[in-house]
Amino acid sequence: MGQSPGPTSVTPLPNTSFQYKPLPSRSTIRILHLQRRLRDYDKSFESLPLRGSLIERAIDSGFEYCALSYTWGDPAPCETIEIDGRTMGITASCASALRRMLRGKTERYIWVDSICINQANTPDALDERGSQVAMMDQIYRGAEKVLVHLGPGDAASDVACDALKSLMRYYLGAKHGIGGPMEEYRQKYEELADDVLAITPEYPYGKLYGVFRLPWFRRTWVVQEVALGRNVMFYCGEKMMHLKTVLVGADFTRLPYSKIASDPVSGHWRTYVEYHDSMNEFIRRREEGEPLSEMVGGLTLSHVLMLPALTLEATRPEDKVHGMYGICKRLGLELPEPDYKKPLATVYTEAAQAVLRYDSDLGILAHVCESSGWELGIPSWVPNFSGSARHWTPSNPPHMPISSRTKSNVSASSVREYEYALGGQGLQVKGRRSSLVSAVGLPWMADASKTMLGGASQAENIQLIDSLLPCLPGWLEVVQSRSDHPDEQTAMRMLAHALIQDVDRPISDQELTSFSHNLAVMMHWATTGVRLATSPQDDSLSPSDMAALLLGVQSMAAILGRLIGLQWKVVFRTSDGHIGVGTHTVQDDDIMAVLHGFRMVAILRPWGEWYRYVGPAYVDGIMEGEFWNATSEADDEWFTLV
């Protein structure tokens, strides 16, 4: 540890609350000197009094400290800590984390955001918060350790932690021969992986869910706390494990696990920390001199911001951007410095403008759909970074689209052209008007709250299927409403082609035929009213319905694998007969436009003399440039998106 100030022993004054003093400079941070008195050693940790002092140090002073990473939870203070003889209210999760970090120790020097940064909403406090958040990269990079507190733990998390540790141990033995014969450890790894991934009544998602269900893994802030940390240690109840243990234990591709191709769940668990680790790796490579252009085909600001915006959470919606500032700073990607006095719409608009500066195309529009952001004053072309896909339900529809297709030649090799209008609130883009939306089916409104992603105790996969089935007949009807009125078999193949082409990977004729067949089975299932809620043992089912039910289960597995990215999408028909797939709010008379430098079709809605951007779409028959190549510069026009 660095030189520490002497311990303080100040008798707390009655009915006095701690008051922050302004920091002497923008490069100064506070550090909590957490102390445990000898007379408190006989107390249980659940009731251990918390006390300490706040010291000030320059960020580059070399003073040694740890940084705490935890989940704020309920923001209402319900516990207290004595700071320099005065009382400060803290949350239950903060108190629990601090008590855990004192186990086996008499003191710690620890940086805790909710204590070391003034959290008041006064102008001075907001200024301080912004400047301190802007230094987060230095704070976490400068910490000797980042201490992650996942929570008090329970039986399920204990099982998961033990499984991760054993997977790590067997991996090292199988990969490097550490501890015994490699083949012996390979067999142990396979057996343990089988057990850990098994779906049982006791563990409906497998045993690793006991850890990855915890709120810490859903926080936006923790990405930079892990990515910037030099040495990251996890604490969960009585269990401790290093970040490397979590990364290796959750990643069944490393050895690899022999059944990974047939067990899709085995590839799921690494996604909880894979992004954090990737950012850490990108930062390391940049600090060693590698340009961003050589990372993952060219790392841009949108790569950094959009995944957390889609999947992670933050108590303050502006922190979906501010929480990534430290990572962007280390990568040399410039975002406006955090300013908590700015309106949310301004924070998001400035972030979108920054993305446009770094991107070479209009790819940002692939991450935007019509949402409640309009009610918050967010322009329609700006991503609504707030929210999380974990909370999408019929009463809380998506704030961003899931973009499946990332490559196409819809606008050939054109280069984006854009200008800002209306004081930066409007985006003028050049493109070509194609046609109008003439018929729209129902959106596939899946309910994330009933899935593992949404935290359901046991996934109701039936609802995912049953929410899709009512959409299928309407989607087929949209296709059959073309002027040439295709027969059902032809229309089914056309629908299958539109649905299956909303991905980057080329599809063979054999795959299309198989998918079309499976879709037809599900269409029959939808029109006959059979639902998965019906048991196959139900005597009321006719033999044909029973066959349809059993065949449908097999077909649905194949279909869901193809269509999972189409949740909250609709099938539509254009006025010139093309079949498209767009975001859930597409409606009749929306305009279909192809923009310079945008890989998807843009759906626009007239708004006075301007346009609201509805979302990206895939439209069968024009994605390889068929429409673009049949037009010319004379067809170009400017669309002002507001």
The pLDDT tens digits of the residues spanning 362-397 come to 999 999 999 888 889 999 999 999 999 999 999 999
Indicate whether 40 pLDDT > 50: yes
Which range (322-326, 516-520, 592-596) has the least confidence?
516-520
Task: Give the whole-angstrom CA distance, residue 91 versus residue 537.
Answer: 51
Segment 391-402, tens digit of pLDDT: 999 999 999 998
CB neighbour list of residue 591: distance below 8 Å, 6 or more residues apart: 433, 436, 437, 603, 604, 605, 606, 611
DSSP labels for 152-184? Answer: S--HHHHHHHHHHHHHHHHHHHHHH-TTS-HHH
Segment 330-354, tens digit of pLDDT: 999 999 999 999 999 999 999 999 9
Position 463 scores a pLDDT of 74
Indicate whether 528 pLDDT > 90: no
Which range (46-55, 290-299, 550-559) has the least confidence?
550-559
Q: Looking at residues 236-256, what average pLDDT do you find?
A: 96
pLDDT band of residue 406 (cuts 50, 70, 90) is low
Pull the structure tokens for residue 88.
Answer: 């400060």
Asked if residue 109 lies in contact with residue 65, where contact means CB atoms within 8 angstroms, the answer is yes
Say which residue, 264 or 595, is predicted with more confidence: 595
Task: Give the whole-angstrom CA distance, residue 150 versus residue 637.
Answer: 53
Pull the structure tokens for residue 541.
Answer: 């089912």
Asked if residue 286 lies in contact with residue 330, where contact means CB atoms within 8 angstroms, the answer is yes
Distances (CA, A) of 630 to 19, 410, 434, 622, 626: 69, 12, 11, 10, 6
User: Hey, which of 317-326, 454-463, 530-539 has the most confident mean pLDDT?
Assistant: 317-326
Which range (116-120, 516-520, 638-642) has the least confidence?
516-520
Burial of 517 from C-beta contacts in 10 A (0-12 / 13-18 / 19+): middle
Place of tokens 């019509």: 370
Residue 110 sits at φ, ψ, to 5 deg, of -140, 140
Task: Give the whole-angstrom CA distance, residue 310 versus residue 285.
Answer: 26
DSSP E strands, 210-311: 232-236, 239-242
Q: Looking at residues 195-212, what average pLDDT do you find?
A: 95
Position 401 scores a pLDDT of 93
Task: Give the whole-angstrom CA distance, residue 446 versus residue 7.
Answer: 56
Percent of the chain clearing pLDDT 90 (strictly above):
75
Task: Give the whole-angstrom CA distance, residue 97 versus residue 235.
Answer: 9
pLDDT band of residue 453 (cuts 50, 70, 90) is confident
